[in-house]
Structure 1
Amino acid sequence: MKHLSIDIETYSSVDIGKAGAYRYAQSEDFEVLLFAYKADETPTEVVDLASGEVIPDEIVNALRDPAVTKHAYNAAFEWYCLNRAGLETPIEQWECTMVHGLYCGYPAGLEAIGKAIGLPEDKQKLATGKALIRYFCSPCKPTKSNGGRVRNLPVHAPEKWKLFVDYNRQDVETEYAIQQRLNRFPMPESEWEAWREDIRMNADGVRVDTQLIEGALMLDSESKSRLLCTAREIAGLDNPNSSPQMLSWLKSQGVEADDLQKATVAKLLDREDLPEQVRQVLRIRQQLSRTSVKKYVAMQTALGEGDRIRGLLQFYGAGRSGRWAGRLVQCQNLPRNYISTLDSARELVRAKNYDGVKMIYGDVSDTLSQLIRTAFVPSEGGKLIVSDFSAIEARVIAWLAKEDWVLDVFRSGGDIYCATASQMFGVPVEKHGVNGELRQKGKVATLALGYQGGANALIAMGALNMGIPEEELPDIVAKWRNANPRIRQMWYDFESAAVETVRTGETHQVYGITFRTEADLLYGQFFLTVELPSGRKLFYCKPYLKENQFGKSAVHHMGINQNTRKWEETSTYGGKLVENVVQAIARDCLEVTLERVRVAGYRVVMHIHDEIVIDARADQYLKDVNAIFAEPIPWAPGLPLNGDGFESPYYKKD
């Protein structure tokens, strides 16, 4: 036996959707109900553990045999659950069909990829599964008709259980059929190793300050209760959270509003003629509508053994680039902190001192929001070392396009925003110095315009909020493009290479990036692939040429629509291709650095965008980590990298 495909069905009273798979499997009542397996090409078997059956010795031995590769769809779940159940196997022996599918540009979800990859009907995931999982895998509500039980067992619905066994068997067949198709487009071994390290990190988890979380939740409840009382007193409303009641009251105060969405309320508060009592009530509504404190609830729900939260990151979760995506607490999207006295604020919240927080900081809800990051803490007696790549995308795009003046700024340690503004406007620009007011324009241009964006990209990056008049935006776009001619040319060269590759089937290489078409005639798979300097590839499924909205021949392909989240036709263009490649290269730089940091003996507990968070010992130091960030990448000669960060007793935005 060389390969073993596995799918399990499990029970736990913990809500896996809210708490995550690791906390789910740590529940005292967790158990494996069904164990389906396919040894090489033999028929799939199901072991009904819930009914007393036992996994054959041959399969138990295969699970522990390093020569047998274990496969599953979302293998991290099977691996962790089986280890918790006593069937221990190291992650080195596993491969994940879901991750392989994501690598090849397909959607996540066994049913979704089955349809996208074109599985025949008899190999696709059975649609009956969700209802059966709800019935057997989660607690049930006690009723008179079910005898007051809180869990459904096989004996309670034998016919449903038989269907559940068939469903379990079919999942293995579906996973195996997908695996056979994906194997024709192998994932590099370096990516498998990165995935395994990611699983180890997720299973280790990051420690959180439970006292801070408890204090924040209590203060939030107290704050909302007091705010509602104040709003009732001012407006005389039964429920100030009711939009119809609030809109009616505003109208009675001479203030017209179509809705009470966040932007509408903010616009109303900008009015100078707003009656003071209306201003008070709208500010209260703003505070009540804040959702950021929900992250404390998410932390508490996902909290597992050792006061650690596990499973915060999803490998290859961010679409085309292959970047990581946030899960559970969504640590990739945490509120910023700007309080200068974080230590004091944290201690007041940990002490559940509502009056102290209110007196010193005013807005309790905003203060709690700013402290969310600080809930992540090191192990007892340690510290956090946080280091990130400085302006990584700006460095990568300049390196790729050979925009030498930008690279020179980075190599000399200069301020890229000042240098960009100087290049754009033809005058010296110094931060807080001569022509310093132009730095803001250089900053927003650097952040927004690298991927062929125009005035709308500047607006999306916050140009108007920075005080830049809208009428100046087209000029900023033109000046940035003139200052970066090589980057501008790279958009058109990428687009031409992609179009010609799809049109002719011939391979094209530009800027060290290789465009190919790759096909699997047996299963009807066809891709445009883009090979990166690291050797990793980006996959665009079923590419073809068609006129785009501008009447220009463009590459169209199947992919996840970022707005609808559906698998459907989408198109791409030069700037978008450059964005995919630049972000993917930046991701690969992070992957290399993560491995170097781990090899050097550091305990990485999470990473956020281009930032690595280390649960460090007292004798480990930031300067040594930063030095690792600055080490050259073998496949990116000449790319200037730099690490910057801080040491802290808790996580924060420095």
Structure 2
Amino acid sequence: MKILSIDIETRSNIDLAKCGVYKYCDTDRFDILLFAYSVNYGAVKVIDLANGEKIPQDILNALEDETVIKTAYNSQFERICLSRYTGYPIGEYLSPNSWNCTMVWASTLGLPKSLAGVGSVLGLEKQKMTEGKDLIKFFCVPNKSGEFNDPVDHLEKWSAFKNYNKRDVEVELQIQQRLIRYPVPEFLWGEFYRSEEINDRGILIDRTLVKNALTMAEKSNAELIDKLKELTGLENPNSVPQIKGWLSQQGLTMDSLGKKEVAKAVKSTEGTLKEVLALRQKSSKSSVKKYVAMENCMCSDDRARGMFGFYSANRTGRWSGKYIQLQNLPQNHMPDLEQARGLVESGNYDAIELLYDDIPDTLSQLIRTAFVPRAGMKFVVADFSAIEARVLSYLAKESWRTAVFADNGDIYCASASAMFGVPVEKHGVNGYLRQKGKIAELALGYGGSVGALKAMGALDMGLEEEELQPLVDSWRAANPNIVRFWWDVDRCVKNTVKNRVTTETHGIRFFYQSGMLFIQLPSGRWLSYVKPRMGENRFGGEAVTYEGVGGTKKWERIESYGPKFVENIVQAISRDILAHSMRTLSHFFVCGHVHDELIIECSMGVSLYAVCEQMGRTPHWISGLLLRADGYECSFYKKD
């Protein structure tokens, strides 16, 4: 036995979509109903566990045997469920080191995330059965009485469910056969295994803090709603139509009650109107929902697991955040963060109400602090300094920028200085120009123009409309090699797609093969674009298009051009550098990561300097790139 392909059907009283597979299995009402498998690409067999059949012993042995490769579509689900089935306690799981994921394989080629989507794009002979969703709801989710439907009472549906289970393995095997020419590199499987180890470890959550924060949020919101009722006379001030109607009666017409629109209106109104809008701001603070997400996916040992989706971004291979989503937690700026945290943890609502004007905002700023290390341990949080700016400067050979990084300078000040031809120092001479340098750096590195500056909040930061185009022009004039890099990449991509030839620029290789555009990165990894062809952009010019998941979240044809491909390349290389640092620091207990940041749970004696020094080591495959990692220590997670 060399390859064991698996698909399982399960049931649980836990909502899988909200809570994730680790919590889904952490209940006495979890069961595996069906186990479909294929050995060495052979005929698929289905074991009916719900009706007393047993998984053969040689198959059970293979689950533990690291010489046997186990494959599944979204293999994390099968691995964690089977860990529970085979008797592993919560917090311990089958080793991921011999589990390959067909979904990851498909993702490395720019294909959809879903099994049905991949089957459709590849035009497989056997497709995923569409009736599966209804069958899963029928057998795997408790009915209205809270019980599960018994297969014995629904034999026809159960037979269809077994066929569905078998078909999923058959579809997976077809996908593997179609992708065989593009195997996932072994080093990438190594990254996957490390990612799964981090998911298995999870991050400890302060359950008391979460419980008290939710209680306080509920009490605060009830008080805000009562105040809104008193001021407006509305039955339900939470109702958007009702509050819009009331505002209109006061002479203020608002098309949207979004955060930005309400914040803007608060500044321009007075009296009762201003008070109502300010209360609306507070009561609609959505970030406290993160506490609910924590409560949902926290396992019985208080650790939240499975929060990082490997290779979730097709075009770059970046990780995505799941469930709690560490990638978009609110920042904390409170000077007395520890004091506020202590008051919430002790449940002292009166003190919170007395000391802090905005309770929802206070609770929002404390969300990060719910993540804590084990007793006697600390967090070391380390991240790369300006990683994308460094990679972009290195690839484009923009030497003045590289000199800034070599001197550990401030790239925002240096950029403003290059743009405006005067010295700029943070909190010093011409310091007011630093903000313009910062907004330009964040918005313009990948071909962005006036629209990108606006999207980045340039107008909200005090810049005037007439300043924006000159800002774009100044940044591009100061960075001619980056601009040249955009259009060198653009020419290479177009030439490769048009003429099916291999091209290269700035150490990046472009080639066409079997209806795919590949971009080879310095790490050896490739980016893939499905069915590329030449098309026309919205300005009537020539453009490259390809198939992928677009802004509509659906599979569609997407238009792209040089700067956008550069963005993919730079973000992908930055991702590879983070993956390299995970390997370098794999002897530590890495328990989380966010973009370019690692969260390490470690003993008190671990040196912050040593962690940052190791993290900042440049990979051999991009020799000459100047990296720097900075960090801090904390007894609870926060933004330093």
Which interval holds the TM-score relative to the shorter structure? over 0.9
In 2: Cα distance, 1:100 partner to 1:211 partner: 40
CA-CA distance at 1:38 after TM superposition:
1.0
Secondary structure of the residue aligned to 2:7 is strand
In 1: Cα distance, 2:26 partner to 2:322 partner: 18
Partner of 2:334: 339
Aligned-pair Cα RMSD in Å: 1.3
Q: Which letter maps to 2:490?
A: E
In 1: Cα distance, 2:637 partner to 2:43 partner: 50
In 1: Cα distance, 2:334 partner to 2:62 partner: 55
Superposed counterparts of 1:405-554, under 5 Å: 405-519=400-514, 526-554=515-543
In 2: Cα distance, 1:37 partner to 1:264 partner: 54
Superposed counterparts of 1:194-205, under 5 Å: 194-205=191-202
Partner of 2:61: 61
In 2: Cα distance, 1:65 partner to 1:378 partner: 32
Q: Which letter maps to 1:640?
A: L
Secondary structure of the residue aligned to 1:542 is strand
For the pair 1:239 / 2:256, whether they are aligned, the reply is no
Secondary structure of the residue aligned to 1:256 is coil
Partner of 1:276: 271
TM normalised by structure 2 equals 0.97
Partner of 1:609: 595
Q: Which letter maps to 2:489?
A: F
In 1: Cα distance, 2:342 partner to 2:382 partner: 25
Partner of 1:369: 364
Partner of 2:616: 630
Tell me, yes or no, if the aligned pair for 2:5 and 2:41 is still in contact at 8 Å. no
Partner of 2:90: none
Partner of 1:93: 98
Tell me, yes or no, if the aligned pair for 2:444 and 2:472 is still in contact at 8 Å. yes
In 2: Cα distance, 1:104 partner to 1:23 partner: 30
Tell me, yes or no, if the aligned pair for 2:41 and 2:173 is still in contact at 8 Å. no
Partner of 2:20: 20
Q: Which letter maps to 1:565?
A: K
For the pair 1:218 / 2:215, whether they are aligned, the reply is yes
Partner of 2:109: 104
Tell me, yes or no, if the aligned pair for 1:116 and 1:567 is still in contact at 8 Å. no
In 2: Cα distance, 1:259 partner to 1:314 partner: 33
Cα-to-partner distance string for 1:74-132 (whole Å, 9 max, x where unaligned): 01111111111117743211110000111110110111111112212xx1100011111
TM normalised by structure 1 equals 0.95
In 2: Cα distance, 1:42 partner to 1:247 partner: 63
Secondary structure of the residue aligned to 1:501 is helix
Flag the 1:66–1:489 CA change in 2: closer, same or farther, 3 A. Answer: same
Q: Which letter maps to 1:631?
A: R
CA-CA distance at 1:264 after TM superposition:
3.2
Cα-to-partner distance string for 1:2-50 (whole Å, 9 max, x where unaligned): 2111000111111111110111012122111100001123211100011
Cα-to-partner distance string for 1:307-349 (whole Å, 9 max, x where unaligned): 1000111001123111100000011001111101011000111
Cα-to-partner distance string for 1:520-541 (whole Å, 9 max, x where unaligned): xxxxxx2100000000000000
Flag the 1:258–1:62 CA change in 2: closer, same or farther, 3 A. Answer: closer
CA-CA distance at 1:484 after TM superposition:
0.6
Q: Which letter maps to 1:48?
A: D
In 1: Cα distance, 2:253 partner to 2:127 partner: 54
Partner of 1:50: 50
Tell me, yes or no, if the aligned pair for 1:387 and 1:611 is still in contact at 8 Å. yes
Cα-to-partner distance string for 1:134-178 (whole Å, 9 max, x where unaligned): 111121112xxxxxx711121121111111000000000011101
Q: Which letter maps to 2:198?
A: M
Secondary structure of the residue aligned to 1:321 is coil
Q: 2:165 aligns with which of 139, 164, 168?
A: 168
The answer to which of 60-69 and 399-408 deviates more is 60-69
In 2: Cα distance, 1:398 partner to 1:99 partner: 30
Flag the 1:2–1:365 CA change in 2: closer, same or farther, 3 A. Answer: same
Flag the 1:226–1:616 CA change in 2: closer, same or farther, 3 A. Answer: same
Partner of 2:127: 124
For the pair 1:556 / 2:545, whether they are aligned, the reply is yes
5+ long unaligned stretches in structure 2: 88-92
In 1: Cα distance, 2:94 partner to 2:244 partner: 60
Secondary structure of the residue aligned to 1:319 is coil
Tell me, yes or no, if the aligned pair for 1:44 and 1:173 is still in contact at 8 Å. yes
Cα-to-partner distance string for 1:195-245 (whole Å, 9 max, x where unaligned): 011111101100011111011100000001111111122222221112333
In 2: Cα distance, 1:261 partner to 1:61 partner: 55
Runs of 4+ in 1 over 4 A off after TM superposition: none
In 1: Cα distance, 2:94 partner to 2:147 partner: 32
Partner of 2:581: 593
Partner of 1:642: 628
Superposed counterparts of 1:573-588, under 5 Å: 573-588=561-576
Secondary structure of the residue aligned to 1:335 is coil
Cα-to-partner distance string for 1:526-583 (whole Å, 9 max, x where unaligned): 210000000000000011112222222221111110x201111111100000000000
Q: 1:177 aligns with which of 151, 167, 174?
A: 174
In 1: Cα distance, 2:434 partner to 2:635 partner: 33
In 1: Cα distance, 2:254 partner to 2:83 partner: 57
The answer to which of 319-328 and 227-236 deviates more is 227-236
5+ long unaligned stretches in structure 1: 143-148, 520-525
Q: 2:307 aligns with which of 289, 305, 312?
A: 312
For the pair 1:11 / 2:47, whether they are aligned, the reply is no
In 1: Cα distance, 2:95 partner to 2:164 partner: 27
Cα-to-partner distance string for 1:393-451 (whole Å, 9 max, x where unaligned): 00000000111110010011111111111111111111111111111111111111110
In 2: Cα distance, 1:183 partner to 1:283 partner: 58
Tell me, yes or no, if the aligned pair for 1:302 and 1:310 is still in contact at 8 Å. yes
In 1: Cα distance, 2:135 partner to 2:199 partner: 29
Tell me, yes or no, if the aligned pair for 2:5 and 2:39 is still in contact at 8 Å. yes
Aligned residue-pair number? 635
Secondary structure of the residue aligned to 1:318 is coil
In 1: Cα distance, 2:55 partner to 2:239 partner: 56
In 1: Cα distance, 2:61 partner to 2:549 partner: 40
Q: Which letter maps to 1:162?
A: S
Identical pairs, percent: 48
Q: Which letter maps to 1:616?
A: C
Secondary structure of the residue aligned to 2:637 is coil
CA-CA distance at 1:361 after TM superposition:
1.5
